[in-house]
Chains A and B, each alone.
Chain A
Amino acid sequence: MKEERKKRITQLAIWTWTWVATLALATFGPEFIWTADSPLTSVSIILNFLNGALMIWANRNLYNHYDELERKIHLEAMALTLGVAVIVGLTYSLLDQKNIIQSDAEIGVLVGIIGITYGVAMGINTKRYS
């Protein structure tokens, strides 16, 4: 069980880091490595998208290896994160549309909130059952 778990975590780590690398390539490549109108821009974005799909597959693969308590912990954290993402995301968007906030709404802010919410929910849930 431990060996299989290690294998699946390694797979997820590989696809996560390559996704981060291809995201960086698609973001900074047109600015620093090739020209913005190069076909390489589209290729790097497609590559990043496909890499992201593999990362999702690896994450699902790891989730399917969790036992019943681990699944419960992750599921509760995901449910909370989904709720927070929808509510905070739409409120943030409204604040931007109605010009109540100075800056434009950035997707990175929402991704950050999702990450923090999931991490905190996982921490609290893990402590609850330990």
Chain B
Amino acid sequence: MNNRVKELRKGKGLTQEDLAEIIGVSRQTVNAIEKQKFDPSLNTAFKMAKLFELPIESIFLSED
């Protein structure tokens, strides 16, 4: 699944460490999500949507 996490994080002026702390995951997990090596859980996706004030489908994009 493609995503815009890196772009949105940088737009907010956050480091991976900052984002990890806010959504309650490790920095390694944020890195893996940004590199699209790992798809987050629904819970983590909702936390990101709330933080970036965007609907989930604007952050995570289906490859179909």
A contacts, CB < 8 Å to B:
1, 67-70, 72, 126, 128-130
Pairwise interchain contact A67-B24, C-beta atoms closer than 8 A = yes
**Known A1-B21, A1-B24, A128-B37: A70·B31 in contact at CB below 8 Å:** no
Pairwise interchain contact B24-A129, C-beta atoms closer than 8 A = no
Return the chain A residue nearest B43 by Cβ. Answer: A68
Over the window 18-32 of chain B, the binary record of Cβ atoms lying under 8 Å from chain A Cβ atoms (1 yes, 0 no) is 000100111011011
Return the chain B residue nearest A73 by Cβ. Answer: B28
* Residue numbers in B under 8 Å from A130 (CB-CB): 28, 31-32
Contact for B38 among A1, A126, A129, CB less than 8 A: A129
For B, the interface residue count at a CB cutoff of 8 angstroms equals: 13
The winner among A67, A69, A129, A130 for most chain B CB atoms within 10 A is A69
Shortest A85–chain B CB gap in Å is 27
B contacts, CB < 8 Å to A:
21, 24-26, 28-29, 31-32, 37-38, 40-41, 44
Shortest A52–chain B CB gap in Å is 28
State A130–B32 Cα separation when bound (angstroms): 6
Shortest A112–chain B CB gap in Å is 28
Shortest B25–chain A CB gap in Å is 4
**Known A128-B37, A129-B37, A129-B38: A69·B32 in contact at CB below 8 Å:** yes
The 4 residue pairs across chains A and B that have the minimum distance between CB atoms: A67-B25, A69-B29, A129-B32, A68-B41
26 A-B pairs with CB atoms under 8 Å apart are A1-B21, A1-B24, A67-B24, A67-B25, A67-B26, A67-B29, A68-B25, A68-B40, A68-B41, A68-B44, A69-B25, A69-B28, A69-B29, A69-B32, A69-B38, A70-B26, A70-B28, A70-B29, A126-B28, A128-B37, A129-B32, A129-B37, A129-B38, A130-B28, A130-B31, A130-B32
